[in-house]
Amino acid sequence: MKKWGISFLLIALLVAQFPVSSYAIGFFKYGYPPDAVVTPQGPAPMQTLKVKVTGKKEATPMIIWVQTDGPNWKATWEGGSEITDTTGSGVSAVPNKKRTDFILDMSVYAPDLMEDSKHNEFTKSEIKSFGISDMKWISANSYTPAITGEDPEFQVGTLTANIKVYTGYDDEDKLIYNDKPEF
């Protein structure tokens, strides 16, 4: 019995002298963020650590116009397509301006790297759940928001946005290239 007591005491002293580092500490180079939530609390065989992370990335969804064999144009985007008529003719033919409404999966555009409040970095693959926190239109000549002055429609924390835009051209919107004056 005395041997067990001495062995136990030696093991306890060794553990106290050389503590076993936690695997999770490797992810927190700058320390644990103050808002981290550990579940379940206290000693447990398995715990979950939830940390709020943020990141920014510019989403670049596209609507691609292709002229069909006839006088029409086909707009294709993530999850759908639509046909519209032509404005102009010959080399001046362009797709008519058309409203396009679709639901965009924003998980494709999630930042590859995100940070917690202590600037510890996490890759997208390390994050179990994420969602949109803010979204604004980017100024571009390729589209016009269908509802002027409003941001894209989305719910905070979700991964989809309701996109409503006009693409294509009105007759008066056409840009003329390579038009040299006559002498």
Does 143 fall in a domain? yes
Provide the mean pLDDT of the chain: 82
pLDDT digits (tens, 9 = 90+) for 143-160: 899 998 888 999 999 999
Does 105 fall in a domain? yes
Q: With contact defined as beta carbons under 8 Å apart, do 154 and 132 qualify?
A: yes
Does 164 fall in a domain? yes
pLDDT digits (tens, 9 = 90+) for 47-69: 888 889 999 999 888 888 998 88
Does 133 fall in a domain? yes
Lowest mean pLDDT among 24-33, 70-79, 106-115, 173-182: 173-182
pLDDT digits (tens, 9 = 90+) for 116-132: 999 999 998 888 888 99
pTM value is 0.67
Containing structural domain, residue 151:
63-173
CA distance 73 to 84: 5
Does 38 fall in a domain? no
Does 35 fall in a domain? no
CA distance 108 to 161: 12
Does 99 fall in a domain? yes
pLDDT at 179 over 80: no
Mean pLDDT of 72-100: 87
Does 160 fall in a domain? yes
How many domains does one find in the chain? 1
